[in-house]
Chain A
């Protein structure tokens, strides 16, 4: 349902103004009514309150919360104040409101025209002539036998209870009133009305009257057949039996869940134990092998580093002399080689001379004829010539031996060592040190792992103990399950017998006279309604709490995310937070109260499934920039046919307007015309510079 028309005549600042709202589409449910302060926003809201429910709407107006519905003279005075002060005396003050079915709705249009009449001197008319109301449903005028009260009841049925109005026609500034009323008195109960549980009670009362009437007609309750009494008794038994079965089924489900959880725990514990016994044994063996390998690597690295450190001192000492020492050793090697060659010549000289000058001289055909002295002189010359073969020593020979203690192979090793020392690089030493460090760290890790594995027996003991406990619990749970299953089976067998008996009794009753049959049905209906009424009340309250909580936490500050809204019996609503004391919503900040009001409104719309338009006066108020988009988002993203926002130029404007612009189906601008002394409504207009 959507608000299709609001026609205000001589109402506060309005002379004769119409708001004709177009049928909203699901994509564009928003209507913005812009007006500066004092130009007619609150008058519009008051028009809805009083136009719909007359004096029952007054106490929702700002400043009238203490008003009692029965105080008619006060009501007349209030309406006199709401009448436009320059209204022509012969014209009444009129509010006309039309609700039309939204797309897809099957309900009929509801039109209310409420008029208040005044005397020529501007005083409220006396008696019943002061106020009239006309009600049209589907265009047809409704006969209202009880006058204003009858209209009130019909409107409550067709639309919503009067004290619901602050929820659907919501003034952000009046959130406090809504909170008080939601907890202490009616709105909670009104939810029951809209949810239908109240009508269930009314039907119950009506059936009771029917039964009294029918019993009287049939000659008194005593004449109700014996079968009916027996049936009632059996039905009661069956109700009790059903309750028992339901309770046992619940216990059964709980125990089955418990058993499943225990079995899962058992499986996990068994797996843990298996891992400890199998995989960890492999781990231990691996660790031993690793330890041995790393120990060897560490020792090798240490040895290498020690060697390198030892030669490091020598390297540092001779690094500059190394080439000279190498040259010296090589020249001494050359000298040694020369001396060996020369010595060889000396050793072989005699043999050479014997070949050159054979003995005795007679055998020497060439020089045998020489005299002995001459022959000795020739021999000496040959000997001298032989000595000259390796004289003087070749270049590169040392003149003497400075390092004469090093000879032969030892000298070659020494040359290689000196070369090696001279070429030793710092990078090699660092690499070696790194290898050592790495090996030591690996070894430490292995020791730590060994330490942990040392705790294995204790861990196994703990797991085994827990497993044993779980197995005991599983056995207990299984025993309980078995007992409950047996009991449940027995109860179900009993229920079957009982149902068969009830069936027989019902068949017997079916043979009774028609009036008695109706009585029998009415009795059953009465009993059913009693049970339904009892069952649905707590569900309704719970549903309301859940929905208000959901909307509230979406709007309110982040610190309330984990909170829950509760409606305790006969006290104002509370906000319950984990590990914190409960907080009365009425004592919270202005914005949180506003957030609650809007959350309540959205929850009502959802729970009652009523397609009632939501009219919100200045929803954002003085909310800060963090709250504003959240709140506007909550209001604009609800499944309502129509959301009418009354706002001023500093509220739904700028980026906030842009955020919702796509959802806006219609705008109005209300401006007070000083010359005409009335508020003028412009359809399609909005504040200058905002929007399209």
Chain B
């Protein structure tokens, strides 16, 4: 799934990047989270969303540890 356009736009991407750096996370984590939420949106089912969010956090922690 394509990330929201605000992640592609040069100016907004820069702002997002700055905020992420300030909070010691990366932009990819936000994109992954957006994808999860978008995937569940309109489907009528919400079970599994927490598990998918957890996977995003774990992936981020793995990336952070790898750095």
A interface with B by C-beta (< 8 Å):
106-107, 143-146, 150-157, 194-197, 199-200, 202-203, 206-207, 209-210, 213, 235, 238-239, 242, 502, 506, 510, 514, 517-518, 521-522, 524-525, 527-529, 531-532, 535-536, 539-540, 607-610
B11 near A539 (CB under 8 angstroms)?
yes
The CA of A199 and the CA of B3, in the complex, are separated in Å by 10
Shortest Cβ distance from residue B53 to the other chain A in the assembled complex, whole angstroms: 5
B16 near A532 (CB under 8 angstroms)?
yes
Query: Which chain A residues border B24 with CB–CB below 8 Å?
Result: 235, 502, 506, 524
Query: Which chain A residues border B54 with CB–CB below 8 Å?
Result: 210, 518
Nearest first, the 5 closest Cβ-Cβ pairs linking A and B are A196-B4, A153-B42, A145-B44, A146-B44, A196-B6
B42 near A156 (CB under 8 angstroms)?
yes
B23 near A150 (CB under 8 angstroms)?
no
Query: Which chain A residues border B45 with CB–CB below 8 Å?
Result: 145
Contact of A522 among B7, B38, B57 (CB under 8 A): B57
The CA of A527 and the CA of B61, in the complex, are separated in Å by 17
Shortest Cβ distance from residue B19 to the other chain A in the assembled complex, whole angstroms: 5
Contact of B15 among A196, A242, A535 (CB under 8 A): A535
Shortest Cβ distance from residue B26 to the other chain A in the assembled complex, whole angstroms: 10
A528 near B20 (CB under 8 angstroms)?
yes
A235 near B42 (CB under 8 angstroms)?
no
A145 near B43 (CB under 8 angstroms)?
yes
Contact of A539 among B2, B8, B12, B57 (CB under 8 A): B12
Please judge, given known A-B contacts A203-B37, A525-B30, whether A242 and B42 are in contact too, CB under 8 Å. Answer: no
Please, how many residues of chain B have a CB less than 8 angstroms from a CB on the other chain? 39
Interface centre among A194, A506, A536 (most CB of B within 10 A): A536
Interface majority SS (helix, strand, loop, mixed), chain A: helix
B interface with A by C-beta (< 8 Å):
2-9, 11-12, 15-16, 19-20, 22-25, 29-30, 33-34, 36-38, 41-45, 49-50, 53-54, 57-58, 60-61, 65
Shortest Cβ distance from residue B41 to the other chain A in the assembled complex, whole angstroms: 5
B5 near A518 (CB under 8 angstroms)?
no
The CA of A209 and the CA of B53, in the complex, are separated in Å by 11
Query: Which chain A residues border B43 with CB–CB below 8 Å?
Result: 143, 145, 150, 153-154
Please judge, given known A-B contacts A197-B6, A521-B60, A522-B57, whether A529 and B30 are in contact too, CB under 8 Å. Answer: yes
The CA of A150 and the CA of B45, in the complex, are separated in Å by 10
Query: Which chain A residues border B25 with CB–CB below 8 Å?
Result: 521, 524-525, 528
21 residue pairs A–B, Cβ–Cβ below 8 Å: A150-B44, A157-B41, A195-B4, A195-B5, A196-B5, A203-B33, A203-B34, A210-B53, A210-B54, A239-B22, A510-B65, A521-B61, A524-B23, A524-B24, A525-B29, A528-B19, A532-B19, A536-B12, A609-B5, A609-B9, A610-B5
The CA of A522 and the CA of B54, in the complex, are separated in Å by 9
Closest to B61 in A: A517
The CA of A524 and the CA of B60, in the complex, are separated in Å by 12
Interface centre among A242, A510, A521, A522 (most CB of B within 10 A): A521
Query: Which chain B residues border A199 with CB–CB below 8 Å?
Result: 4, 34, 37-38
B61 near A107 (CB under 8 angstroms)?
no
Query: Which chain B residues border A238 with CB–CB below 8 Å?
Result: 22
The CA of A239 and the CA of B38, in the complex, are separated in Å by 29
A200 near B4 (CB under 8 angstroms)?
yes
The CA of A377 and the CA of B10, in the complex, are separated in Å by 147
Query: Which chain B residues border A540 with CB–CB below 8 Å?
Result: 6
The CA of A393 and the CA of B41, in the complex, are separated in Å by 146
A608 near B5 (CB under 8 angstroms)?
yes
Query: Which chain A residues border B53 with CB–CB below 8 Å?
Result: 206-207, 210, 522
The CA of A59 and the CA of B5, in the complex, are separated in Å by 28
Query: Which chain B residues border A528 with CB–CB below 8 Å?
Result: 19-20, 22-23, 25, 30
Query: Which chain B residues border A202 with CB–CB below 8 Å?
Result: 37, 41
The CA of A552 and the CA of B20, in the complex, are separated in Å by 36
The CA of A568 and the CA of B41, in the complex, are separated in Å by 30
Query: Which chain A residues border B30 with CB–CB below 8 Å?
Result: 200, 203, 525, 528-529, 532
A200 near B57 (CB under 8 angstroms)?
no
The CA of A577 and the CA of B59, in the complex, are separated in Å by 52
